[in-house]
Structure 1
């Protein structure tokens, strides 16, 4: 049973969460003009967030992932919107979610948010698997090394994400050291990112009585990062001193989130997007170090497959050498295990731990 007061007790719907575009100083690159090699050299290798324009121009999803098309083609299909207090997945039919998003969701503090893995389910054999054919992974992110672990053994890594204003994800670090990309087809997303190593006690403090949701974070934690409380000779805000990055993601834009960057995301209006996590030759060292202890069987399989392929493939031979060089590195601190939690607004519906992720 859902308590309406529990969904709306903070009246977040009465607040304005939009940000001015001028605070977004993240570099933007044109997918049509910047090569993969340039992207890797200037951003991925340096572990720097960047927004990519025009990477989705040719996607069929621009027409097949509209609300009307989703209602017509997938209205009776179930999509994951969260977990209950016992960590059981909660699903809604697309038609019911769309109705909720246009009505009850407009008032809820942190509305329900589709964060669906797009995997075939026994009770729903067709499910949304067909959606996978509506987009193509940008070439920047095509080197997905976790594919070597096979589809059934690899961690969850791709999701359809859809929700109304104030839905989103609480602050987290994507697990296993993976990086992520998020391509937005409709609406606007507000992001806040912090460099690796930023003290958790500062950016992720206890939030009781609020839930660990994006809107709660922006309402109660974010304001302190705009305060200028440093030494007299330092006029920067706390956020500026920490290297905080703010992004206003617009339709058609794809954001690259490097591994190890804590981030929080909130939808500013109804959004439809796809996101994937990945392990590439560039971040392989870090991902392997994170994986070999958190998921030892997966880490061992990744190591063995790369060693095997390295016997005949020069590129994998280089990766094999990379891994051998970090074998003696001690265990890294674990990253967030709930990196892609979807939003919910009820005291009886908690965030969706969509990833094992991003």
Structure 2
């Protein structure tokens, strides 16, 4: 029976992959990926992938009490920070959400997927699976993918099954874009990631983001808004003798395949970080806060569950 169940799950994942990128064969998803050593509670500030080691760079860890009563968020940091004491009393933290606990709460709910290799970019919400199907994928199949799929769902946090398990801090409660049809993406997302999955380099030009980790471990690299974009591309194509090609390599609109390296590919290719970049190793109960315009790439160093919000504060001036 277990073998039959796994085959059914694999079929669900395969169907999702084909929905995400119908012009690519399933074999295109497969491939080796770099090995990495997970941060541990005994060595919490270091992450090694291939021959590269990333160390937490002492991003400020600030108590939410400094900001919680600022209902417009005017005083929130203007540089990346880790906020503490945000979710210590949330039910989803005291009884941590994991893939297993969420599967019992949402036994048959299909959730949207993101992630995968570069050709799957731009496909958010095109594929979906249940959490039990995704759990089986994490256990048996995700290691075969060059970049694993990632549950990235924008509907489920407002459901009765989940919404009573957390509360929004007052400093994040006033979103200028609330109910605004011009919003590019929904504000709230449930994130459930297999080990090695992640989100590639991107920014939020007009919104701040806060990400609460409930189980697992994430590794972040953040970059200031004025970072040279050629570094974000890891200087791919910089040795080209063609001037036009070289110019295009620094703009993601003309080199989307390079710009959309998966998170694990990006980490494995990265070497020295530029001035202003920060490494954050995030543990459960911590909230990573990113101001407007800061670039970031995020890797799930362990199987993880988090929630992420992107809101516009009144302090942002167009």
Q: TM-score, with normalisation over the residues of structure 2?
A: 0.71
Q: How many residues align?
A: 258
Shift of 1:8: 4.1
**Superposition map of 1:202-213 within 5 A:** 202-204=231-233, 205-206=235-236, 212-213=261-262
- Find the aligned partners of 1:68 and 1:7 in 2 and give their Cα distance: 25
- Find the aligned partners of 1:61 and 1:52 in 2 and give their Cα distance: 17
State the match for 2:213 in structure 1: 184
State the match for 1:135 in structure 2: 166
Is the alpha carbon distance of 1:206 and 1:118 closer, same or farther for their aligned partners in structure 2, counting shifts above 3 Å?
Answer: farther
Task: Specify which of 111, 115, 123 is matched with residue 152 of structure 2.
Answer: 115
Is the alpha carbon distance of 1:71 and 1:23 closer, same or farther for their aligned partners in structure 2, counting shifts above 3 Å?
Answer: closer
State the match for 2:135 in structure 1: 98
State the match for 1:169 in structure 2: 199
Is the alpha carbon distance of 1:244 and 1:218 closer, same or farther for their aligned partners in structure 2, counting shifts above 3 Å?
Answer: same
**Is this contact kept in 1: 2:112–2:153, CA < 8 A?**
yes
Shift of 1:39: 11
CA-based RMSD of the aligned residues comes to: 3.2
Task: Specify which of 272, 276, 299 is matched with residue 243 of structure 1.
Answer: 276
**Is this contact kept in 1: 2:82–2:289, CA < 8 A?**
yes
State the match for 2:82 in structure 1: 51
Matched, 1:11 2:33: yes
- Find the aligned partners of 2:214 and 2:159 in 1 and give their Cα distance: 17
- Find the aligned partners of 1:41 and 1:32 in 2 and give their Cα distance: 14
Shift of 1:196: 1.0
Shift of 1:182: 0.2
- Find the aligned partners of 1:156 and 1:52 in 2 and give their Cα distance: 23
- Find the aligned partners of 1:275 and 1:86 in 2 and give their Cα distance: 19
- Find the aligned partners of 1:16 and 1:97 in 2 and give their Cα distance: 23
- Find the aligned partners of 1:178 and 1:34 in 2 and give their Cα distance: 17
State the match for 1:23 in structure 2: 56
- Find the aligned partners of 1:86 and 1:262 in 2 and give their Cα distance: 18
Is the alpha carbon distance of 1:210 and 1:201 closer, same or farther for their aligned partners in structure 2, counting shifts above 3 Å?
Answer: closer
**Is this contact kept in 2: 1:77–1:128, CA < 8 A?**
no
State the match for 2:263 in structure 1: 214
CA displacement, residues 298-320 of structure 1 (integer Å, 9 cap, x when unaligned): xxxxxxxxxxxxxxxxxxxxxxx
Matched, 1:223 2:271: yes
Over alpha carbons, which structure has the higher Rg?
A: 1
State the match for 1:196 in structure 2: 225
Q: List runs of 5+ in structure 2 lacking aligned partners.
A: 1-13, 18-24, 40-44, 48-54, 238-256
CA displacement, residues 225-263 of structure 1 (integer Å, 9 cap, x when unaligned): 2xxxxxxxxxxxxx2xx2111100111000101111111
Q: Report the secondary structure of 1:215's partner residue.
A: helix
- Find the aligned partners of 2:73 and 2:183 in 1 and give their Cα distance: 27
**Is this contact kept in 1: 2:68–2:170, CA < 8 A?**
no
Is the alpha carbon distance of 1:198 and 1:17 closer, same or farther for their aligned partners in structure 2, counting shifts above 3 Å?
Answer: farther
- Find the aligned partners of 2:236 and 2:163 in 1 and give their Cα distance: 38
Higher helix share: 1
State the match for 2:188 in structure 1: 158
- Find the aligned partners of 1:29 and 1:86 in 2 and give their Cα distance: 34
Shift of 1:145: 1.6
